[in-house]
């Protein structure tokens, strides 16, 4: 395994000085990783002492070195002298410069993914699929902001063949900064919706902000665009303005990667695309199937044999809290219940899609009672009441056996329901959890969906932890 960085590269990338001339002077002292967290640091990592309003990485240098860090980058000259560290003016700026240097030396293909929802799941599928064709690096967890992107690129090896990056945003201008650093060969926008609309005037501004991804695209770069999204024409015009080549996917006739049909099954979905290819996804729902097809578009753009990637994606399971199907078994009862755990986050578009998918999929389980547990969708500002009320028609259509809401905004939904529906409202998830053993029973089909801050994910954790129920397992 080749070292990730050497002293000369670090000084060239960051403009750092070596006050003691002893940085990395120990025998066999090489850098194989980059860390900003001494709690998770690994042997031979470079530790970068970031400094913020509420923390100072300089306080953890000794601990990092004791755990095997090869060297340290600091912004304090006295500390640099004490620990034989590289000295820079600003350690965050140094990390960003390392990211740019690493990206520029990388000869493989970089794929950048953004969108209002589905970007993490799509990135995950893409990384798993691309491993079939070469060593693949990419974003981990929620590392989709400036810090996360910079750290991910600083860890990028020149020997990697593919790099898959997730770009997130809350405000306009943020994607522009990220894409200028990432310099993608391929871009993908999963969708545009009113997520974070409290920070924008309207949805068009969100589309504008997401389209900033094209501003960093490399010469001869390719933009993969979903023709079934309502902002398709707007996004396409932005991509063309950046001189990107366009690859369409979706159901329209212009699509190079064309979806013919997606069918829900008891376990997963069947996808028909291109020349009537039948592709069974064992564990993904309708919405995730669309994301999976977008990954096939990435493989096609890269001129790869898609069959290997299809086989890999077929057997993947959703990331926790992003639509995974779980079973609950009950002591002294052989009848299980099923939870669709989509509790990681929610915006108006993803909530409607989750409810519609639940409606389609519950038809596969006619003998189970339908239970919907939804939490507030946050960061909607003045549009919040309207967008929560927009959920009423689909809930009326589902006609669940029980609707449970968590939060102030979702509570108002109940007053406008037109069907005679059993409902319960909780302002806090902790109070709902107290009642859960009475609510969750055998033979139920349960949907969990809400913004992360509502804490619906605690429901799954609670069920795993208590003795009333058996361990939750994936259906697959």
CATH assignment of the domain containing 169: 3.40.1190.10
**Boundary-marking domain end, from 51, 77, 97:** 97
DSSP H/E element including 29: none
Asked whether residue 406 is domain-assigned, the answer is: yes
Please check whether residues 227 and 364 belong to one and the same domain. no
Q: In which element (H, E) is residue 122 found?
A: helix 119-130
* Sequence-separated (6 or more) residues with CB below 8 Å from residue 225: 189, 232, 235, 236, 239, 246, 247, 248, 249
Task: Give every CB contact of residue 66 below 8 A, 6+ residues apart in sequence.
Answer: none
Proportion of the chain in helix, strand, coil states, percent, rounded to 5: 40, 20, 40
Which of 67, 97, 127 is at the close of a domain?
A: 97
Do 241 and 154 sit in the same domain of this protein?
yes
Q: How far, rounded to the nearest angstrom, does the alpha carbon of residue 80 sit from its chain's CA centroid? A: 37
CA distance 249 to 54: 45
CB 436 within 8 A of CB 462: yes
Q: Answer whether residue 319 is part of any domain.
A: no
For residue 1, tell me if it sits in a domain: no
Rounded CA gap, 70 and 23, in Å? Answer: 9
Domain count, the chain: 3
User: Smallest Cα–Cα separation from 262: which of 283, 290, 298, 282?
Assistant: 290
Supply φ then ψ for residue 40, to 5 degrees: -115, 10
* 90 touches 97 (CB < 8 A): no
What local confidence, expressed as pLDDT, does residue 467 receive? 54
Half-sphere exposure of residue 73, counting CA atoms within 13 Å on the CB side?
A: 31
Q: Does residue 43 contact residue 25 with C-beta atoms inside 8 Å?
A: no
- Per the domain annotation, does 230 fall within a domain? yes
Q: What confidence score (pLDDT) does residue 469 get?
A: 61
Q: Same domain for 302 and 154?
A: yes
The rounded distance, in Å, linking the Cα atoms of 156 and 159 is: 8
pLDDT value at residue 8? 94
DSSP annotation of 22 reads -
Neighbours of 252 (CB within 10 A): 13
Contacts of 415 (CB under 8 A, 6+ apart): none
Could you give the angle at which helices 232-241 and 203-210 cross, rounded to 10 degrees? Answer: 40
The pLDDT value recorded for residue 316 is: 95
Q: What's the pLDDT score for residue 361?
A: 86
In terms of domains, do 75 and 118 share one? no
Residues 467 and 413 in one domain: yes
Residue 374: which CATH number?
3.90.190.20
Q: Kindly state whether residues 148 and 268 are assigned to the same domain.
A: yes
Q: What DSSP character marks residue 72?
A: E
Nearest C-alpha neighbor of 136 from the set 155, 114, 120: 155
Q: From its phi and psi, is residue 45 left (phi > 0), alpha (psi between -120 and 50) or beta?
A: beta
- In terms of C-beta distances under 8 Å and separation of at least 24 residues, what long-range contacts does 461-467 make, across chains too? 462/433, 462/436, 463/328, 463/339, 463/436, 466/437
Q: Per DSSP, which regions of 36-180 are E strands? A: 45-48, 71-74, 86-87, 109-114, 136-138, 162-166
- For residues 186 and 150, membership in a common domain is answered with yes
- Co-location of 208 and 278 in the same domain: yes
CA distance linking residue 379 with residue 47, whole number of Å: 35
- Residue 153 token pair: 């690129």
pLDDT of 381: 87
Tokens of 42: 């690994």
Domain CATH for 56: 3.40.1390.10
3-state SS assignment for residue 176: helix
In a domain, 2, yes or no: no
- Integer Cα distance of 134 and 257 in angstroms: 23
Last residue of a domain, one of 97, 129, 151: 97
* Alpha helical stretches, state H, 256-285: none
* 128 and 230 co-located in one domain: yes
Q: How far apart are CA 237 and CA 285, in angstroms?
A: 31
457: helix, strand or coil: helix
Range of the domain at 434: 324-474
Q: 215, 31, 26, 9: which is closest to 104 by C-alpha? A: 9
Task: State CA 162 to chain mean position distance.
Answer: 18
For the chain, counts of helices (H) and of strands (E):
17, 20
Strand boundaries in 357-443, DSSP class E: 369-375, 402-406, 423-426
In the numeric block, the tokens 């060593």 are attached to 135
Contact criterion met (CB below 8 Å) for 268 and 261 = no
Do both 167 and 263 map to the same domain?
yes
The sheet carrying 109-114 orders its strands as 136-138, 162-166, 109-114, 186-189, 222-226, 245-250, 257-264, 269-273, 277-281
Examine the domain organization and report whether 40 and 135 are in the same domain. no
| pLDDT at site 473 | 65
| Within-domain flag for 184 | yes
Interatomic CA distance for residues 282 and 294, integer angstroms: 17
In terms of domains, do 367 and 343 share one? yes
Q: For every one of its 476 residues, what pLDDT tens digit does the chain have, with 9 covering 90 and above? A: 789 999 999 999 999 999 999 999 876 678 999 999 999 999 999 999 999 888 899 999 999 999 999 999 999 999 999 999 999 999 999 999 999 999 999 999 999 999 988 899 999 999 999 999 999 999 998 889 999 999 999 999 999 999 999 999 988 899 999 999 999 999 999 999 776 677 788 889 999 999 999 999 999 899 999 999 999 999 999 999 999 999 999 999 999 999 999 988 877 899 998 876 789 999 998 889 999 999 999 999 999 999 999 999 999 999 989 888 888 888 777 888 999 999 988 888 889 989 998 998 888 888 999 999 999 998 888 889 999 999 999 999 999 999 999 999 999 898 878 777 899 999 999 999 999 999 999 999 999 999 999 999 999 989 887 755 655 666 54
For residue 287, being part of any structural domain is answered with: yes
Q: What is the pLDDT of residue 198?
A: 72
């Amino acid at each position: 395994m080749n070292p990730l960085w050497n002293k000369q590269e670090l000084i060239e990338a960051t403009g750092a000085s070596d006050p003691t001339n002893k940085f990395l002077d120990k025998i066999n002292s090489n850098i194989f990783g980059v860390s900003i967290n001494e709690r998770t640091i690994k042997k031979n990592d470079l530790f970068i002492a970031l400094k913020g309003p509420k923390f100072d990485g300089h306080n953890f240098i000794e601990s990092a070195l004791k755990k095997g860090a090869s060297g340290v980058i600091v912004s304090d000259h006295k500390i640099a002298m004490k620990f034989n560290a590289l000295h820079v003016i600003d350690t965050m700026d140094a990390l960003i410069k390392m990211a740019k240097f690493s990206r520029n030396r990388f000869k493989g293909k970089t794929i950048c993914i953004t969108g209002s929802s589905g970007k993490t799941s799509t990135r995950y599928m893409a990384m798993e699929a691309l491993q079939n064709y070469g060593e693949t690096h990419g974003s981990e967890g929620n590392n989709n902001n400036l810090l996360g992107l910079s750290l991910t690129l600083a860890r990028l090896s020149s020997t990697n063949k593919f790099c898959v990056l997730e770009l997130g945003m809350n405000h306009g201008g943020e994607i522009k900064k990220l894409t200028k650093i990432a310099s993608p060969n391929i871009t993908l926008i999963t969708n545009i919706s009113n997520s974070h609309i409290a920070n924008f005037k309207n949805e068009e501004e969100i589309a504008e902000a997401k389209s900033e991804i094209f501003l960093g695209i490399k010469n001869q770069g390719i933009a993969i665009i979903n023709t079934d999204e309502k902002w398709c024409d707007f996004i396409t015009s932005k991509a063309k303005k950046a001189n990107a080549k366009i690859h369409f996917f979706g159901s329209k006739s212009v699509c190079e990667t064309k979806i013919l049909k997606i069918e829900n099954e008891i376990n997963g979905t069947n996808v028909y695309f291109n020349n009537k290819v039948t592709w069974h996804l064992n564990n993904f729902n309708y919405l995730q199937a669309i994301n999976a097809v977008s990954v096939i578009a990435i493989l096609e753009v890269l001129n790869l044999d898609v069959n290997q990637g299809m086989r890999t994606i077929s057997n993947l399971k959703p990331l926790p809290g992003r639509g995974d199907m779980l079973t609950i078994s009950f002591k002294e009862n052989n009848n299980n219940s099923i939870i669709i755990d989509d509790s990681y986050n929610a915006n108006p578009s993803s909530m409607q899609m989750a409810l519609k998918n639940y409606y389609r999929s519950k038809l596969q389980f006619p003998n189970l009672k339908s239970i919907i547990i939804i939490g507030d969708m946050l960061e909607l500002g003045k549009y919040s009441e309207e967008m929560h009320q927009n959920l009423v028609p689909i809930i009326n259509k589902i006609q669940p056996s029980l609707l449970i809401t968590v939060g102030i905004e979702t509570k108002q939904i109940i007053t406008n329901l037109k069907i005679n529906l059993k409902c319960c409202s909780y302002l806090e998830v902790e109070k709902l959890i107290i009642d859960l053993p009475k609510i969750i029973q055998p033979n139920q089909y349960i949907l969990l969906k809400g913004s992360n801050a509502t804490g619906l994910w605690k429901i799954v954790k609670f069920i795993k932890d208590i003795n009333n129920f058996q361990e939750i397992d994936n259906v697959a």
